[in-house]
A and B are shown apart, each in its own frame.
Chain A
Amino acid sequence: MRRPRVIAVVLLFAALLLAIPMEMITGSVSAAATNTKQLIDDSVGVLSKKEVKELNELANRYGSEIGINIIGIVTDKDQGTWEVLQDLYAKNNSNEDFSVSNAAVLILNTNHEKIYINVFQKAADHLDDERLSSITDIVADEYGEGRYKAAFQRYIESVYQYVTAGSQAVDSGKNSTVSSMISSTNDGTTFTSTTTTTSSSTSGTTSSTFTSTTTSTTNGTSFTSSSSGESSNGAMNSSNPSMFKKWSDPSYKKGNQLIFDEAKLLTGREYEELQELAKQYSEERKTDMIIYTTNDPLAYDVKRMTQDFYDEYGPGYKMRHGNAIILMVDMTHREIYLAGFYKAKVYFDDDRLDQIRDKIAPYLADKEYKDGFLTYLKTVHKYMGYRPGVNPDNLLLNIWVQLGAALVIGGGIVTLLVYRSGGRVTVDAQTYEDPNSAGLVDYSDQYIRTCTTRTRRYSSSSSSSSSGGGGSGGGGTTSGGHSHSGSRGSF
């Protein structure tokens, strides 16, 4: 009698504990699975089913946001791009699957060890040769190391980033031109194509064999953009004294500088240490973790400064204007701003940025800049290990809280075991009650009065710590068209 009951109690506990988070997990998965198109195809089998599914979800999510079919294909057939696409299109029932309208198509040919990227209509408007070749470089990096999933993931992310990053000047007639040309010819020469060829080194070295890049634009369909989006939107900037212009020179980017201590808050050694850590973390999370400090008397709005810095310097992991999180410290106005771009925007919503800001503001207020920046880097690195939407500071996820809870439950069950070892009372109120005579004979309920109290609703957004000022605003979009999340406060 006793053993099954104990086991049942244990199982019940376990079931209860599992039930809640499991529901969250399955709930989020099923929500993401609705209305997905087939965009990823792997006929060679270098990706696992799970990876294909994940990539497909990612491609759908990003693709639907920018209105472009982000297609990725692995093949080993000796076919041209067009045949591959036609095969796939014919194989699938839905008109949506592998449709080339407004599409970017990546084909990894494992037979030739070649990468083909082709863009159609809207995608062609946004991705010029320069951008395509930079995407090709990124994909080639991963492909060369045999990381197929990463290759696709980076491809999907970069397409998304470039398309959202700002429009190439779009001339309205071009759309129709491209589509008509596609329909007229059938040999795959009508679109912008970038081809990266591998030198076929057969040695076992895993170092990248993707060195030579040839970009060819065929058939006179000129997609070269006449004017850049940044400059056309630049008018919005003009009121600001652009103290970040100096960073716009791409040569700065080569140094992979992540800490910009213009306000000279750090000693040389501290700077080196932080820069080293930032580099390591940025590499691990594939996201540039940037700190920018300024005490320029010309400093203006901290959020605008952050945006302008992003536009000018164009930080991003292995690319310009890519994944980046920026901590802007304005010593002139004693304000800080945190902004997450692209991948960092997904991982750092305004709430998470608020949490980070609350953690570092006290350090900055106490002039412990190094510790503050260290906390920033560590927290950013840690939070990127948590799925977006999950609160990383949730007490239930804390290892010590979990250990404590496990000990309490274990102790509780054991106490119950010891307590019950001598037998227990198994009679209750019903055992001896005479059901025929039990009952309420008479009753009355008299209302006397009602008291009403009211309290002002506590709003969590202005709940920053004592040393951090009120956060307002959140995210936004830079003049260059990069949307970001954000958190702002003083210290």
Chain B
Amino acid sequence: MPVIEYKCSNCGSGMEYDTYSEMLTCHSCGRQDNIQDMQDPMTKYVFTEEDAAEEYHCHSCGAVIITEAETSATSCSFCGSAVVLGDRLKGNLAPVKIIPFAISKEEAVMEFKRWCGKGLITPKGFMSANRIKGITGMYVPFWLYDLQNEIEVHGRATKVSKYRSGDYDYTETAHYDFYREICLDYIKVPADASAKMTDEIMDKLEPFPYEKLENFKTPYLAGYVAETYSYDEEELLPRVKEKIQEYIFEFIDSTVTEYTSAKYDKVHIHTETQRADYVLLPVWVLHYDYNKLEYTFAMNGQTGKVVGKPPISKSKVFAWFAGLSAIFFLVFQLVSYLYIGGKF
């Protein structure tokens, strides 16, 4: 039985994860189960070869569940029951941890409307945010890396001092060779493993509150869409390395501040992956129609931070430009007037 559903043991209705109580909740009778105490149906069931199905059927209505290759949780498009595809969450596809949603769908819509209303340069019609086409709660697969770095830097640096003596200006440039050996550890650096989500948007969604990480249990997925990773830990390692490289150079810079200028001749960074955990992180994905174009936004399911390119109103941009320029020009003029005009 690769398809898992959560039926209320009281009334038999479908149960879903509730963001307020953080429990699996039956909307019909109000029964609530604590997920961390529940036995995961996955562990009871021993999968067999035949279970690697190409097709999944809804237990409630029997319809074929429409899925993509990466889908691991969704809802039946006919009856709406929450379904979890068990065979896509087992073995090396099993997430280690999960951050559950803290923002419900209603809150997400409200938060998004608030965000749209604050847009300084978005068109007026967009600011009212009344054209939300669809909103999906999605658990996006991430790898969290613990990376240990050993860094060796050789370089040349100068110290410049200037002074005046007699009729001459002197510039004294002292040259140095320097060497730095640095240990730098980075913990839980995230990299999104979904092929669908653009890296740029996912990077802007950070940071996720890691203190909310829970041990993964399938009931958390009830009522949401989830995906399995498209890239494994090895494939994503270069991307994470690139991400922390910037931080590493920042640190190296901070060790040579006593110099006027420093040039790195040889930088050797040895990165060792201490640990890479497969986790699911909560993201609300919103589709929005404006002016016959569809815009996609992502919202951090814990912090409510919204990311995505909104439409931009040219007239508003121009108004800001003209207004700000005029204000600054007036300020300059006023200051000059006060400065030069004071006749005695």
Contacts and interface: CB of A to CB of B under 8 A. Distances in A.
A414 B251 contact: no
Interface stretch (A2-10, A256-264, A478-486): A2-10
A407 B204 CA distance: 30
B175 A421 contact: no
A458 to B, nearest CB: 9
Interface in B167-187: 167-187
A405 B324 CA distance: 11
Given A433-B184, A456-B167, A457-B168, A402 B336 contact: yes
A431 B206 CA distance: 10
Contact of A2 (B120, B188, B341): B120
Contacts of B185: 433-434, 436-438
B175 A449 contact: yes
B328 A406 contact: yes
Contacts, number: 211
Nearest to A398: B336
Contact of B325 (A24, A406, A433, A438): A406
B177 A446 contact: yes
B124 to A, nearest CB: 15
A421 B310 contact: yes
Interface in B99-152: 118-122, 148
B338 interface: yes
A428 to B, nearest CB: 8
A54 interface: yes
A390 B339 contact: yes
A405 B332 contact: yes
A452 B312 contact: no
Interface string B178-209: 11111111111100000000000101101100
B344 A57 contact: yes
Contact of A25 (B189, B203, B333, B342): B342
Contacts of A61: 344
Contact of A411 (B310, B321, B333): B321
Nearest to A445: B178
Given A433-B247, A448-B176, A454-B170, A392 B183 contact: no
B248 to A, nearest CB: 8
B340 interface: yes
Interface in A276-328: none
A244 interface: no
Contacts of B244: 432
Nearest to B325: A410
A421 B326 contact: no
Interface in A410-462: 410-411, 413-414, 417-418, 421-429, 431-434, 436-457
B310 A17 contact: no
A387 interface: yes
Chain B: interface size category: 35 or more
Contacts of B119: 421
B61 interface: no
Nearest to B321: A414
A40 B260 CA distance: 57
A432 B187 contact: yes
A33 B81 CA distance: 83
A403 interface: yes
Interface stretch (B8-16, B28-36, B220-228, B301-309): B301-309
B211 interface: no
A14 B338 contact: no
B329 interface: yes
B164 interface: yes
Contact of B339 (A24, A429, A443): A24
B120, B171, B310, B325: residue with the most chain A Cβ atoms closer than 10 Å: B325
Contacts of A423: 201, 204, 305-308
A442 B178 CA distance: 11
Contact of A441 (B118, B182, B305): B182
A62 to B, nearest CB: 10
A392 B325 CA distance: 24
A21 interface: yes
Given A25-B342, A457-B167, A441 B176 contact: no
A186 to B, nearest CB: 37
A18 interface: yes
Given A410-B322, A439-B182, A421 B122 contact: yes
A241 interface: no
B176 A447 contact: yes
A409 B324 contact: yes
5 contacts: A57-B344, A410-B321, A431-B206, A443-B179, A457-B169
Interface of B: 118-122, 148, 157, 164, 167-189, 201, 203-204, 206-207, 244, 246-247, 250-251, 255, 305-310, 312, 317, 320-329, 331-333, 335-336, 338-344
Given A417-B317, A439-B182, A451-B173, 4 more contacts: A14-B328, A410-B320, A421-B310, A440-B182
